[in-house]
Structure 1
């Protein structure tokens, strides 16, 4: 009896997820082969820049062990509210709603020591039990690698497409190739690659210094016949903005223009 009841609950949840996804025009998961490449910063700013253009955007952080989105948007310490049996997302601005496991923790720095089934359950709950409403874009920030979280997204979010973030050096690109093959194996289309930390523009002399090399992301995209959406430099302003809970759109540097160019490329591909 308990098993039958559990199957029924799963079917009801799956139906809720399907109903929600039918009201989302574009589902995009932002992935990386390894950590430390700035994936969450890219995902967060994609969502902010799209919302600034009037699109209705949901930003979902499924990195349950290392959630960064709340901090990047100045939402750390704020709890997610509920209305009946539904979770109410953070309302970041008029067009952007945000959900992160951070909003359910009593202590922001408390670790979540969870195995796969629990992580899968919370991701499905964030898709079924959140009052998102209709969306133009659902941007999903996934943890690095090809484990439970990106696999759950691939198997649950029908019609999802991937954006893969890398840095230029070979050790990062080797893991990106794994992410590309992961997407191919689970039949998830790849919208394109973004190369982050692609050179450092010296604020004194204005010269570009390739600290981590550059161009590797573009070459990898070409090798796999994928779109290269653009690159972002190492910019101290991005670090300051992230640490103070602000997005790249608060900057006056050319990094903001670079990010807008990436968004424009993405919109062109989707059109």
Structure 2
């Protein structure tokens, strides 16, 4: 059932109805993990792609539902920007990348990825529901949902309509100890969805000469904030040329150092 206590339509909808989307009967989906951020520009989609790559490398079957309808970047990050999803006999067929990761995004259903999606909230929400309920995901161990930034309509739709196992919050150091992250965490808590923890992106730079980690922001405040919000720090991703290249060119090979960090993150959420 949906989380009716937090629904704006509580007591005004059909009491026999449920907010939860009926999934395609041909699907067998294991854990569903939402990846969320308080605002844009913090690398949420990149973190989603990296987690998917790591889970796939560990032998799990993985899918990514790109719920960021107005700012989709998952196809580029997963190397399928020229792919096309299509209607099959038993549902919409997602695109698979070279590693077998299944991807569904609005950009995989349009002729020109640069054209804007000028839709109102309810229409965007309905598309996200279709991406979950009408897509032939088949058998996947993990379905990652790359959610749009903030706490708007689509985030509410996802949390109310899809049986999410937990949320991974992505932030950058200067925003972590702020109301931006607090709002997103409190929204998940209000919807009775478990926040698995926080990934701090752009956490530090590494000195090329002495290999020392250089943090630009005060880690003490971060620790206090996490403790006060009862959140786990899943991992810290550095600001490196490798991650910048991933942002521009997609996820291909991952260095041993980055792979080690991703292992720690994934082992805490799987």
Report TM bin, short chain.
0.7 to 0.9
- Corresponding residue of 1:71: 76
Give the 3-state SS of the residue equivalent to 1:45 in structure 2. Answer: helix
* Offset at residue 217 of structure 1 (A): 4.8
CA contact (8 A) 1:199 1:213 kept: no
CA contact (8 A) 1:59 1:138 kept: yes
CA contact (8 A) 2:33 2:167 kept: yes
1:17 equivalent in alignment to 2:20: no
Coordinate RMSD, CA, aligned: 2.5
Q: How many residues are treated as equivalent by the alignment?
A: 255
Q: Distance in 1 between matches of 2:258 and 2:221?
A: 19
* Offset at residue 193 of structure 1 (A): 1.0
Give the 3-state SS of the residue equivalent to 1:169 in structure 2. Answer: helix
User: TM-score, normalised to structure 2's length?
Assistant: 0.86
* Offset at residue 191 of structure 1 (A): 0.9
Q: Distance in 2 between matches of 1:171 and 1:14?
A: 31
1:251 equivalent in alignment to 2:257: no
- CA 1:56–1:217: 2 relative to 1, 3 Å: farther
- CA 1:259–1:80: 2 relative to 1, 3 Å: same
Counterpart of 1:29 (choices 3, 28, 34) is 34
Q: Distance in 2 between matches of 1:171 and 1:258?
A: 19
Query: Structure 2: where are the runs of 5+ without partners?
Result: 1-16
Give the 3-state SS of the residue equivalent to 2:59 in structure 1. Answer: coil
Q: Distance in 2 between matches of 1:230 and 1:62?
A: 24
- Corresponding residue of 2:184: 179
- CA 1:191–1:239: 2 relative to 1, 3 Å: same
- Corresponding residue of 1:5: none
1:211 equivalent in alignment to 2:210: no
Query: Structure 1: where are the runs of 5+ without partners?
Result: 1-10
CA contact (8 A) 1:197 1:212 kept: no
